[in-house]
């Protein structure tokens, strides 16, 4: 198994970057996810903007443990039950029932097929200032 696959299986959340369907600006969101067959799966709330952005512009970027991937997303509502099972396996049934049941239960299943690894995301942090004595 490749290092990137191990990271995708073991990391609890990732950062998904979508293109705003109205603004065309990049939008980042941290999400729980499941990984299977080099595809990522998500459970989106019906009012979440990120899946609506994917519906208009399927190309996304995914950052997981500082590794940056490109990907193509789509709704896969026919896989909703399977995605819930993947989430239960990864996060535990109690946690999934707590977060995704009741009034939180209206979900969209989203799949992202991963493309190439883009590398590591450049750091946004400013370097420490140099002090001269």
Please indicate, yes or no, if residue 96 is contained in any of the structural domains. Answer: yes
Residue 132, domain member (yes or no): no
User: Of all helices (H) and strands (E), which one includes residue 52?
Assistant: helix 49-56
pTM for this one? 0.84
pLDDT of residue 54: 97
Q: What range defines the domain where residue 54 resides?
A: 3-120
Asked if pLDDT for residue 125 goes beyond 90, the answer is: no
Q: Quick check: is 44 in a domain?
A: yes
Give residues with Cβ within 8 angstroms of 28, minimum separation 6.
15, 16, 17
Is position 99 within any domain?
Answer: yes
Selection from 3-17, 41-55, 108-122 with the highest mean pLDDT: 41-55
pLDDT in the model for residue 4: 67
Using DSSP, state whether 45 is helix, strand or coil.
strand
Helix/strand/coil percentages in the chain, nearest 5:
30, 40, 30
CATH number, residue 54:
2.30.110.10
Average pLDDT score, the chain = 87
The 10s digit of each residue's pLDDT in 93-108 is: 999 999 888 666 689 9
């Amino acid at each position: 198994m490749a290092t990137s696959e191990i990271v995708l299986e073991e990391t609890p959340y990732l950062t998904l970057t979508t293109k705003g369907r109205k603004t065309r600006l990049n939008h980042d969101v941290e999400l729980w996810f499941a990984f299977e067959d080099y595809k990522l799966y998500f459970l989106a709330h019906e009012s979440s903007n990120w899946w609506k952005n994917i519906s208009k512009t399927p190309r996304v970027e995914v950052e997981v443990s500082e590794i940056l991937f490109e990907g193509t997303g789509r709704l896969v509502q026919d896989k909703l039950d399977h995605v819930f099972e993947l989430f239960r396996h990864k996060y535990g049934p109690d946690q999934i029932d707590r977060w995704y049941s009741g009034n939180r239960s209206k979900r969209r299943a989203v799949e992202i097929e991963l493309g190439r690894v883009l590398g590591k995301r450049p750091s946004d942090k400013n370097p420490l200032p140099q002090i001269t004595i």
